[in-house]
Structure 1
C-alpha cells in the first residue's frame, strides 16, 4: 500500500480541484499522467472512485469514503512539513484563498500581493466569488468574509471595519427632492443585493436609529453590479465605500444622506479549526491583520 501513497495524494487533489487538468496544473504534471495515476489507484483497489463525464467529475460512494481517508493522510503529511518549515523558519507551500469579487481592487488584495512578494515560496490560488464558499468541501485554506459573522465552528479573526455609502446617479436625484431623513426614501427605487435582507439601518450624528425597507424591482448578485446599475439611474444602492469613492469624486454618483451612517461592514479572515496548512494560514492571517488594521 505504501507504494500508492502518492496516488492517493493525486486523487485527493483531483477531487479538490474538480478536474484532472486543474489538478495536473497545481501538481506540475501532464493531465494524462494525472488521469492515469487515478486509474492505476482504482485498479489497485478494485473499485471505481470517480465517474468521468465531459463536464465534471463525480465521486462514487466508494470514492467519497476513500477521499476522506486520502485527505486525512495528505493533511497529516502537510502538517508535518509545516511543522518542519516553522522550525527551520522557512515558509514553503500552497494556500487556497477565497474572497468576495468586490475585493478584487482593495486594500486586502493589495496586502495579499505584498504577502506574495515577501514570501515567494508560498504559492497562492485566489478564488473570487460574491457568494459564501464552502471552505471544507472546496478545499479552501482561508476565506475573507464580509458582514457580521454568525456562530461558526470555523476559526475567525476580524481584520477591520469598512463603511458603506448610499448612492444614486445625478440623473436619478434630479427628479426628486433632496432627502434629509431616511423616511424620505420609502418610495424611492432600490437596487438589491440578493444575499442581503431588505432592511436598511441608518444612524444620525445625534444617535437616532431608524430601519427602512428597500423598495426593489432589480436584484443583483454582485456588489460591483450595484454600483453599475446605480450609475445607470436605476435607483439607490448602498455599497462598500472603496467601490464608489472615485465615482463620487467624478460626479458619476451622489452620496445620498451624507449626514446619516449605514451599519459598517466587518471584514474577517475565516479558516478551518484544523487547517491542513495551519502555519501558512496563520502567517497570512496575521499579515493581513497587520496591514489592514485601521
Structure 2
C-alpha cells in the first residue's frame, strides 16, 4: 500500500523506484500483486503516464492515511524510545564522500543499528521533495526557504594550480594579476570570486575559462594536469599541496569559507529521527576553523 501511494505521488513507476531506491520492475510487480490481492484494477497504465481508476482513487486516500499514521507512529516511537528505528534517505555533495562528515554518518549508523541510511552523492543540487529525500547536505550559504536547516560547520577554500602551471607564469601578488590566467570553472559556483586581505579590502575576480565542470573531482584532476587555476575546498587538495604537485596562490588573500548545512522539509516524514541525526552530525562533524571570519545567521544560500 505504501509503494502504491508513492507511485501515485510520483506519477510513475520509475519516479517511485527512484525515490525508494529500488528497481522499477520491483515497483510494478508490487502494485500488480496488490491489485491481484484486492481483485480490482487500481491504476490505468499507458506508455506515457499512469492514472487512477475510480477504485484506485478511493483506495489511494486510505493508503495515504495509513502511511501518515505509520510515520506519526515512528516519530512518536523514536521520541519515547532509547533506540531509534527507521530509514533516512540523504543527499550529500559528491566531494564530501571521503570527508569527516561521511565518517560522522558512519558513526551514527554504528550507534543505531536499527536505522537504515541511504546516502546519495552528487555535486549537482537535488530537489528534496521530488527526489524523496529526508535530508540534504548543502554547501554554501542558505537563502530564505520553507525548509528547516542547521549549520554543521565550515569548509576553508584555497585558490590552487598545478606547480608546473604556476611556474610558467609571473608570481601573482594581487587577485587582479590573475585576470589573464586560465580558470577552470565550477558550474555550481558564481564566476566572480571574492578575495579579502587583512585590511578587509574585497576584490572580485572573474577570470577567463575554457573548461567548465560540474563536480569537484573533475576540477581537481584538471588542475593537476596544469590546465589552469580554480578555487576548491582545501581538504580536497591538502595531500597534493603537501606533496607539492599543487601550489596555493596568493596565500595572503583570503577566501570566505563555505558553510555546511543540513536541510530538511518542514513537514519531515521522520521528524524526530531526522532531528536526532542532524543533532548528531552537528556535534560530531569537525569542520575547518573560521580563520578570522565571523559567521552570521543568514539563511541566504549561494556559491561565491
TM-score, length of structure 2 as denominator length: 0.82
In structure 2, relative to structure 1, the CA distance for the partners of 1:160 and 1:51 (3 Å cut) is farther
Partner of 1:4: none
Q: Deviations over 1:107-133 (max 9, x none)?
A: 110000100101111000001111111
1:282-293 equivalences in 2 (<5 Å) = 282-293=275-286
Partner of 1:3: none
1:95-134 equivalences in 2 (<5 Å) = 95-134=88-127
CA offset at residue 20 of structure 1?
7.9
Matches of 2:143 and 2:51, distance apart in 1 = 32
Partner of 2:32: 36
CA offset at residue 35 of structure 1?
4.6
Q: Is 1:177 matched with 2:170?
A: yes
Structure 2 residue matching 1:173: 3-state secondary structure = helix
Matches of 1:199 and 1:23, distance apart in 2 = 35
Query: Are the aligned partners of 1:192 and 1:216 in contact in 2 as well (CA < 8 Å)?
Result: yes
Partner of 1:195: 188
| 1:157 pairs with one of 146, 150, 154 | 150
Matches of 1:72 and 1:214, distance apart in 2 = 55
TM-score, length of structure 1 as denominator length: 0.85
Q: Is 1:146 matched with 2:139?
A: yes
Matches of 2:183 and 2:20, distance apart in 1 = 45
Partner of 1:137: 130
Q: Using the TM superposition, name which of 35-44 and 168-177 deviates more.
A: 35-44
Partner of 1:256: 249
Matches of 2:236 and 2:206, distance apart in 1 = 23
- What CA RMSD, in Å, does the superposition of the two structures yield over aligned residues? 2.9
Query: Are the aligned partners of 2:78 and 2:273 in contact in 1 as well (CA < 8 Å)?
Result: no
Partner of 1:77: 70
Matches of 1:35 and 1:135, distance apart in 2 = 24
The alignment of Structure 1 onto Structure 2 pairs a total of residues equal to 279
In structure 2, runs of 5+ residues without a counterpart are 288-304
Matches of 1:152 and 1:239, distance apart in 2 = 26
Query: Are the aligned partners of 2:86 and 2:114 in contact in 1 as well (CA < 8 Å)?
Result: yes
Partner of 2:294: none
